[in-house]
Structure 1
Amino acid sequence: MQQRTLDILDKVLYGLIIALFVVIPFSEAGINIFAGLILIVLVATFVITRSVRGLDRGIWQPILALLIAGLLSLFFAADKGRGLHKFLSPLVKYVTVFVAVALTARTDSRRRWLTAIMLVTGLISAGYGIYQYGWLSIRRVYSFSYNPNVVAGYFAVLTALSVGLLTGVKSRLWQFVFSCTTLLGLGATVVTFSRGAIIGLVASGFVLFTMLMSKAKNKKAVLVVSLIICVVLVALTPDMLFQRFRQIADLENSSNRQRILLWQTAWDMFLDSPIVGQGPGGFSAQYEKFRLPGAGDFVSAHSVFLQVLAELGLLGFGACLWLGVLICRVIYAQLSTSDQDLEFGISLGTLLAAVTVLIHGLVDTAFLRTLVGTSMCCLAGLAYSIGLHHKDESSETVSP
């Protein structure tokens, strides 16, 4: 009877995850609704089994450390109402999505379907963004989102996944398909004119180039092809993007000046409470108290790293770092053991997406926005599930 109930819950959870993947680029409210339902099913599973089946015990340590750090920070927060809201979203929401996908996407078929849904819905959003730029003459596109920088982070994740899949597959047909998805995702990222997202993609491209050069038998061919791709991409880049990059060195530029003031404000908040921070959502709650002369009205620190330090302190930042390094280490190890194109492509795409999001996070808080953070956690869950799948297979083989 218990096993039948668990099987039903598993199917319900998988259905909710499919629904979540479908709505990610289109509705923030939809993401929150399905993430909440997923959390309820996970809790129900835990109540029945007294454990979450199939997830490596090692991953629970940093997850629990992060949740405890968030609760401690919330306890000392000045605005506990706002802090509770921000603790639940994004902190609990991101953990829920990652755990649910890692547990549920345990078969090749499920991973294939979820990857396909992520690509198709992402390409619809990217196509609409390019339509906004080409036909509606929108200067900086935002697709179905509300902010060009946020949707740029999402398009960058989509592009990184496409590049990973393109690198992993051997079929000419699928190479063509993923070449098209890569170009569409990259084009959509460019017309957001988000410098942070584009720099993140360049950094992930450099990481990929380094990996290919280290393993290639014909290094000269890899170098030549890479140079040709770079020249073509630069030649196709709109002039407006070059203008925006030239503004980076101009410290009198209002955008640059405001970012510097925000970074200093976040650092001051961290120094004020270095251990537990100002609490989830504490940057916006305490902004007026720490606001510097000349700073505008903002609700984020324009840097994921500084905002996490300001809000969760060293405890929360350390837990985030621990969890991120553990996930990336597990996924990186899969690159040498994955014997299937899809598994290798998802693992590589996730690592490239992580590089992109982290570099973008130096100058923006896109990862803390629902669209980018949820898509990244879904992708990380997919990649992490591959290791769990192989571990289960090996244990079944060894057992008598």
Structure 2
Amino acid sequence: MDFTIPWHAIGIRAIIFFVVVLIGLALIVLPLPFAIILVGGTILLLLALIDPIWALYAAVLSVPIQDLILLPGEISITQAMLGLVAVTWSLHVLAFKEHRVRAGRVLPALLVFVWVLLLSSTFTDYSATESLKETVRWISVLLIYLVALNVVIPLQRSAIGMAADLRQSWRAVGLILCLLLAPAVNAVIGLRQFWYADGPPSFAIAGGRFVRAYGTIGQPNSFAGYMNMAWPLAFAITIGILWACWHWLQARGSRRIDLQMWSLLISPLPFLLLSIVVMSGLLLAALLASYSRGGWIGAISGLVGIIAAFGLIAGRSMRQRLLAGMSAALVAVLLAFVVGSAGLLPNALTERFQSITDNLRLFDVRTVQVKPENFAVVERMAQMQSAWVMFLEHPLLGVGPGNYTLAYEGRAGVGILPYSFHPWYASRGHAHNYYLHIATEAGVLGLLAYLLLLGLLIAQAYATLLRVHGWFWQSVAIGSCGMIASVAGHNLLEHLHVLNMGVQLGAAWGLLAAMETLTTMEQDNG
């Protein structure tokens, strides 16, 4: 018998031995916090080198804590994870050249959008550095999208059809859990802040009894945007769980169905699904506690997206029920606005409902007398009106990505006047409407490129929705449609492409494309 050990096996064992010794020394010599960080980082690095999916998971989970943990050189933990994703995935692409890199339907629009941002950065009259920083943020989104699309798909054939196949598709399930877990933990933090009034005085509501939830994100509106990037997915899966349970109850007379359900009940699957149901409730509660007008409008848009997606795959009778449900929901929303406007709800909610309609009204800030009750509305309109003037003077390529504040305050250099209106001299960093904001910073080319991106995202969602089968994966596809609609609606009053939240979006977009690819592979293989 040949007892010789291959050289590559000896090398792997030597590396493992070296790592174990290094971890042991770290635990003995270093203070506990540093030792934990070193050990955790080492384990993550090894896992990421073995499979880049772990680096992707870490990047998604790092978004809520990006400002809480800073590495040497003022590098955020999310930036470090993005670097780890780029390096490990590049190594795997080079190591497995026989596996082609998949692009998906959305990549052309992302490339066009990044190209327009680079073009605008080249010709900006303001800071090229700020423009490049903003462009790099979108390059990060492109990277995460590509990595998610390619690493979620395993090298071997994988089923993505029935709920019982979840263990075979652990990569996709793991990414779904990361997309929900990080926002859900942040939702718990935000709900605690809301209930105990733990926040700045400017966030106070109901006479100071509560504060608007802001989590680790720092701002209630951005926090609400983060919730809108997760709750549609959790909510759609929750509805799918209820639908599957109802069908099981209808068919429980069959012994075969009972045996299948028993095998599932003794597996980790029920705990997994129950956790998603709980996360759905937490995310929606935190969104409500944020008291974000844009967040609530985004939530309505997300609900419409979920209903529309469900209608595409539902049967005729179900569509009729869906139409009735949509009509009832529309009546409920209108009734809520009427009741809120009539002052029949608590004062804090009444004022919030009234402010939504105020923020949808256009006016010239130069003709309005500023009062305490209209201060926030007028200030928001001042930012938008200034952005509109910037766009009119720089219609093709805008003032440059990331240069809204410099142009607004006139801080680019001698001879460049600010675009602000008296007395609104301080910029809020964005135009309170992303479509206007991107037109301001990247011109009409940037706006068209962004709309192209939205269009291809809708096309990708539609294609995935029609291809996937099985209640779980259909629920994920429906939830992804709701997420796209929610962000698109919320962006009417906010700018959600900030704070590296693009990592969450890019991963969700890549997952959506990967689901279509996996289903196509399954069908091609018979």
| TM-score in terms of structure 1 length | 0.86
What does residue 353 of structure 1 align with? 483
Matches within 5 A, 1:120-131: 120-131=181-192
What does residue 4 of structure 1 align with? none
8 A Cα contact 2:48 2:54, kept in partner = no
Change (3 A) 1:294 1:43: farther
Return the alpha-carbon distance in structure 1 between the equivalents of residues 387 and 423 of structure 2: 15
8 A Cα contact 2:240 2:472, kept in partner = yes
What does residue 143 of structure 1 align with? 215
Structure 1 residue 191: Cα displacement:
0.7
2:179 is aligned with 1:118:
yes
2:392 is aligned with 1:271:
yes
Equivalent residue letter for 1:383: L
What does residue 511 of structure 2 align with? 382
8 A Cα contact 1:112 1:342, kept in partner = no
> 3-state DSSP class of the match of 1:336?
helix
Structure 1 residue 58: Cα displacement:
4.9
Matches within 5 A, 1:37-48: 37-44=84-91
8 A Cα contact 2:311 2:322, kept in partner = no
Matches within 5 A, 1:164-313: 164-169=236-241, 170-172=243-245, 177-212=275-310, 215=314, 217=317, 219-220=320-321, 223=324, 227=328, 239-250=347-358, 253-288=374-409, 289-298=418-427, 299-313=429-443
Structure 1 residue 371: Cα displacement:
5.0
8 A Cα contact 1:55 1:103, kept in partner = yes
Equivalent residue letter for 2:301: A
What does residue 342 of structure 1 align with? 472
Return the alpha-carbon distance in structure 1 between the equivalents of residues 150 and 212 of structure 2: 38
2:128 is aligned with 1:80:
yes
Change (3 A) 1:44 1:177: closer
What does residue 18 of structure 2 align with? none
% identity of equivalent residues? 21
Return the alpha-carbon distance in structure 1 between the equivalents of residues 298 and 85 of structure 2: 31
Unpaired runs of 5+ residues, structure 2, are 1-46, 68-75, 155-168, 200-210, 246-269, 362-369, 410-417
Structure 1 residue 21: Cα displacement:
2.2
Structure with max Cα Rg? 2
Equivalent residue letter for 1:67: V
Change (3 A) 1:175 1:36: closer
Equivalent residue letter for 2:285: G
Q: Which is further off, 247-256 or 215-224?
A: 215-224
What does residue 3 of structure 1 align with? none
After superposition, the C-alpha distances for 1:311-359 in whole angstroms (9 at most, x for unaligned) are: 1122222222222211221222222221123321221111111111111
Structure 1 residue 376: Cα displacement:
2.0
| TM-score in terms of structure 2 length | 0.66
Name the structure where helix makes up a greater proportion of residues: 1
Structure 1 residue 220: Cα displacement:
4.7
Structure 1 residue 213: Cα displacement:
5.9
Structure 1 residue 73: Cα displacement:
0.7
8 A Cα contact 1:283 1:300, kept in partner = yes
> 3-state DSSP class of the match of 1:286?
helix
Structure 1 residue 87: Cα displacement:
1.5
Return the alpha-carbon distance in structure 1 between the equivalents of residues 514 and 347 of structure 2: 42
What does residue 148 of structure 2 align with? 101
Change (3 A) 1:50 1:212: closer
Equivalent residue letter for 1:63: L
Change (3 A) 1:226 1:76: same
Q: Which is further off, 106-115 or 384-393?
A: 384-393
Unpaired runs of 5+ residues, structure 1, are 1-7
Change (3 A) 1:19 1:9: closer
Change (3 A) 1:80 1:225: closer
Structure 1 residue 306: Cα displacement:
1.0
Return the alpha-carbon distance in structure 2 between the equivalents of residues 44 and 260 of structure 1: 49
Change (3 A) 1:319 1:40: farther
What does residue 451 of structure 2 align with? 321
8 A Cα contact 2:244 2:471, kept in partner = no
What does residue 364 of structure 1 align with? 494
After superposition, the C-alpha distances for 1:257-290 in whole angstroms (9 at most, x for unaligned) are: 1121211211222222222221111212211221
What does residue 25 of structure 1 align with? 64
Kindly report the root-mean-square deviation, in angstroms, between the aligned alpha carbons of the 2 structures: 3.1
Structure 1 residue 184: Cα displacement:
1.5
Return the alpha-carbon distance in structure 2 between the equivalents of residues 129 and 230 of structure 1: 30
8 A Cα contact 1:304 1:364, kept in partner = yes
What does residue 17 of structure 2 align with? none
Return the alpha-carbon distance in structure 2 between the equivalents of residues 210 and 84 of structure 1: 38
> 3-state DSSP class of the match of 2:229?
helix
Equivalent residue letter for 2:120: S
